Structure 1
Amino acid sequence: MKVIKNEPLPNKVECANSLKNVLDALYVLNGKWKLALILSLVQSSKRFNEIQQELSGISAKVLAKELKDLELNDFISRKVYPTTPVSIIYEATGYSRTLKNVLGELSAWGEQHREKVKLSMRKQS
Structure 2
Amino acid sequence: MEGETMSHQRNHADERQALQDTMYVIGGKWTLPIINSICNGNRRFREIERSIPGITTRMLSRELKSMEMNKLVKRTVTPTSPVLIEYESTEYCRSFGNIILEMIKWGKEHREILRNADKQQS
Give the TM-score of the pair, scaled to structure 1.
0.86
Between 107-116 and 33-42, report the one with greater CA deviation. Answer: 33-42
Q: Percent identity?
A: 36
Following TM superposition, by how much is the alpha carbon of 1:29 offset from its aligned partner in structure 2, in angstroms? 1.7
Describe the SS at the equivalent of 1:95: helix
Following TM superposition, by how much is the alpha carbon of 1:44 offset from its aligned partner in structure 2, in angstroms? 2.1
Does 2:89 align with 1:92? Answer: yes
The 3 A distance-change label for structure 1 pair 46 and 124 is same
Describe the SS at the equivalent of 2:96: helix
The match for 1:73 is: 70
Following TM superposition, by how much is the alpha carbon of 1:93 offset from its aligned partner in structure 2, in angstroms? 0.7
* 8 Å CA contact 1:45, 1:92 repeated in 2: no
Instruction: Give me the whole-angstrom Cα distance separating, in 1, the residues matched to 2:60 and 2:17.
Output: 28
The match for 2:38 is: 41
Following TM superposition, by how much is the alpha carbon of 1:13 offset from its aligned partner in structure 2, in angstroms? 4.8
Describe the SS at the equivalent of 2:75: strand
Mind listing any 5+ residue stretches in structure 1 that lack a counterpart?
none
Does 2:106 align with 1:109? Answer: yes
* 8 Å CA contact 1:80, 1:89 repeated in 2: yes
Q: Relative contact order, CA 8 A, sep 6+: which one is greater? A: 1
Following TM superposition, by how much is the alpha carbon of 1:7 offset from its aligned partner in structure 2, in angstroms? 8.5
Describe the SS at the equivalent of 2:112: helix
Describe the SS at the equivalent of 1:46: coil
Q: What's the RMSD between the two structures over aligned residues?
A: 2.4
Give the TM-score of the pair, scaled to structure 2.
0.87
Does 2:73 align with 1:53? Answer: no
The 3 A distance-change label for structure 1 pair 32 and 5 is closer
Instruction: Give me the whole-angstrom Cα distance separating, in 2, the residues matched to 1:7 and 1:48.
Output: 41
Instruction: Give me the whole-angstrom Cα distance separating, in 1, the residues matched to 2:71 and 2:84.
Output: 20
The 3 A distance-change label for structure 1 pair 16 and 82 is same
Describe the SS at the equivalent of 1:26: helix
